Chain A
Amino acid sequence: MMNQNLNIAAFNSREIVSRLAEDIKSLSADMAPLKLMHICGGHENAIVRHALRQFLPAHIQVIAGPGCPVCICPVEAIDEAITLAQQPNTTVLTFGDILRVPATKTSLEEVRAKGGRVKVVYSPVDAIKIAQQEPQQTFVFFSVGFETTAAGIAGLIRSGVPENLFFLIANRYIPPVLKLLMDVHDESLQGFLLAGHAGTITGLEVYDFMRDEYRLPCAAAGFEPVDILLAIRKLLTLIKNNQHDVINCYRRVMKNTGNKIGQQCLSEVFALEPGTWRGIGAVDNSAYQLKDKYAHLDARKQFNCKPSYPPQSFHPGCLCHRVMLGEVEPQDCKLFKKVCTPGKPFGPCMVSAEGTCHVRYNYSEIKINLS
């Protein structure tokens, strides 16, 4: 549980940051070059906004993995939402940042501009209120997000929803994608920073396979500068000592066992099946699907939402898929900042505030002496 008396300013303290940076520097002085990967858009945002990479020695790289739920949302699912929004008497409800993501032919935003019914909500609870206000209209909640969002949706579904509200589920479960990342990257990848808020639901046991099968250390981290540097220091210590534990560096919020009620909701409402991640491909046991007892709420089963055209995930030339895997930096993409901007995004990573390209577009570090 969150400690209410905690002094959050300490997590932004210049003194503590500089002490951690010193520790990291001396700890890594005799270590070979290595990469740590985070898998959370919130981490990339914080790292770049606070220019945290300046505090790391050149041979310790922190790279961004597939941590933005809007970015990895499969284009097929957005195409389905678009198809639904074009059907009579049907309104698609969704979170704002998916609105502008380019799908195969168009985006939800363009569909809305042309008269399709798409409404932005800030909480799934709003979906219930909106559906109750217009009982003759069909509403479909397009659900995108990782464990944390999925748990909220599961709780909502379990507690009962109006008859005219359905769900198009595109939620994804993070742990299995780590296996895939291990296949893509070479041995220079030596540890993962886990997303603190996803871990808040699932706890850490679901990552034990990293220790047992891959022998790679993981540390769950929060989102303030000190949170992130603490986790990096911990990972480097583990690597140096040839240890492979999964460590909680976000104890002020997260329990090792996670949130039991959230876990119960998830397992009661959803099954995990193989599912596509945009830019990454199929990942086993990573797609939340409504269980059969909730089939009456499943938009895919209740409506025809298959578009008449085949999916196309990326604009030619767009490197979002390789950015998401941590293989290239946004700057390596020829479209980045030249034609691909937050105002006119070519790929999903330029849309969400947590997309690596969007974050790097807004903030760049400067490599000069701090004096």
Chain B
Amino acid sequence: MTSASIKLAHGSGGRLSNALIHDLFFPAFNNPILNQAHDGALLTMHSRQLAFSSDSFVVKPYFFPGGNIGELAVNGTVNDLAMCGAIPQFLSVAFILEEGFPMNHLKAIVKSMAAAAQHAQVQIVTGDTKVVERGAADGVFINTSGIGIINHQQKISPNNAQAGDVIITNGYIGDHGIAILSQREGLFFETTIQSDTAALHTLVASILTASANVRVLRDPTRGGVAGVLNEIALASQVEIRLDEVAIPMRDSVRAACDLLGLDPLIIANEGKLITIVPKADSAAVLQAMQLHPLGKESAIIGRVLNNNPGKVTLETRIGSLRLVEMPLGEQLPRIC
């Protein structure tokens, strides 16, 4: 690692995050479960298949259009478990609070966490609270960890994509990131864009029912669709080719991205998933997703090729081709 100190980009989900994970954490904690490099760990205990995952939330502002840090923290870990193909069961919640944090804000956050947990049918069964002096944190940070049960035999992994497969997403991309950005100081513009934060495990269940050969499941949070697909392309050593016209995107998100000079493909999502399935199963999976409330706008957005292994490419609406690079990502710190 070349950096002498931690930069915001080390937490961005982009290239520097990857470097930190692969150069520092993996060698230090080295074990076969960690080395799966999945959204969560896949464990076998007493012949039960389990998934275990952890995630911390530092989003700024902590109340944003369409949600708050609390429900994001519940849905985030539920989704990490769901991307392992697990049914989420139990969560832990740890708060780091800054001295002076308004009690009514905490109450509102906790209330929405309880509602999100109920909606996702998970129980919050343990937790922790730490308070740090004023200035040592920014209001509220939340960590959630979770355990889920795996009830199927499918081998779902980012290194599983194969030429001929198709890439499907469950709807409009970029909503969460633009909802957050619209609230940030200096980037305030009139918008009705709401965060898409949602628990995706029942949608995953529909996908797993529709196909017995699901190759990849990922949620494109930090680093967006571009970040996740680049990871998959690298891990599977395939080319992923997106079709610009097919990618579902709200006009308002497109306009905001134009205004801010951002590529919608790098914008964070909190209620979206990417699944890669064999072409033969794609129609059934797409139909199952479109029948789910969180998948009405599901679409096939690309395909897996062998031409340029490790690369993500985009066929533009006018028929040209460009690279979609792994975002460095530090442009948008604290998006989740």
> A residues near B, CB below 8 A?
12-14, 17-18, 45, 48-52, 54-55, 96-97, 99, 119-120, 122, 225, 341-344, 352-354, 358, 362-366, 368, 370
Q: Which of A96, A119, A341, A370 contacts B321 (CB 8 A)?
A: A370
Q: Min CB distance, B292 to chain A, in Å? A: 31
Q: Which of B186, B315, B328 contacts A99 (CB 8 A)?
A: B186
> 1/0 contact trace for B288-313 toward A, CB 8 Å?
00000000000000000001100101
User: Which A residue's beta carbon lies closest to that of B263?
Assistant: A362
Residues of A within 8 A of B323 (CB): 363-366
> Given A96-B186, A96-B187, A365-B323, are A341 and B330 also a contact pair (CB < 8 Å)?
yes
Report 7 cross-chain contacts, Cβ distance below 8 Å, ordered by A residue.
A17-B318, A50-B316, A50-B317, A120-B187, A225-B318, A342-B330, A343-B8
Q: Does B30 contact A (CB under 8 A)?
A: no
Residues of A within 8 A of B189 (CB): 122
User: Which A residue's beta carbon lies closest to that of B322?
Assistant: A51
Residues of A within 8 A of B98 (CB): none
CB–CB A50/B318 < 8 A: yes
Q: Min CB distance, B251 to chain A, in Å? A: 12
CB–CB A368/B317 < 8 A: no
CB–CB B263/A13 < 8 A: no
CA distance A45 to B257 in the complex (A): 13
Q: Does B43 contact A (CB under 8 A)?
A: no
User: Which A residue's beta carbon lies closest to that of B185?
Assistant: A120
Q: Interface size (B, Cβ < 8 Å)?
A: 26
Q: Min CB distance, A145 to chain B, in Å? A: 15
Residues of B within 8 A of A354 (CB): 261
CB–CB B319/A14 < 8 A: yes
CA distance A343 to B10 in the complex (A): 12
CB–CB A55/B320 < 8 A: yes
CB–CB B186/A363 < 8 A: no
Q: Min CB distance, A181 to chain B, in Å? A: 25
CB–CB B325/A364 < 8 A: yes
CB–CB B328/A341 < 8 A: yes
Q: Min CB distance, A21 to chain B, in Å? A: 9
User: Which A residue's beta carbon lies closest to that of B189?
Assistant: A122
> Given A12-B317, A96-B186, are A364 and B330 also a contact pair (CB < 8 Å)?
no
Given contacts A343-B330, A365-B320, 4 further A-B contacts (CB under 8 A): A45-B261, A50-B317, A342-B330, A364-B323
CA distance A352 to B260 in the complex (A): 9
CA distance A228 to B319 in the complex (A): 15
User: Which B residue's beta carbon lies closest to that of A371?
Assistant: B307
User: Which B residue's beta carbon lies closest to that of A18?
Assistant: B319
Residues of A within 8 A of B313 (CB): 366
**Interface of chain B residues 1 through 47 with chain A (CB within 8 A):** 8-9
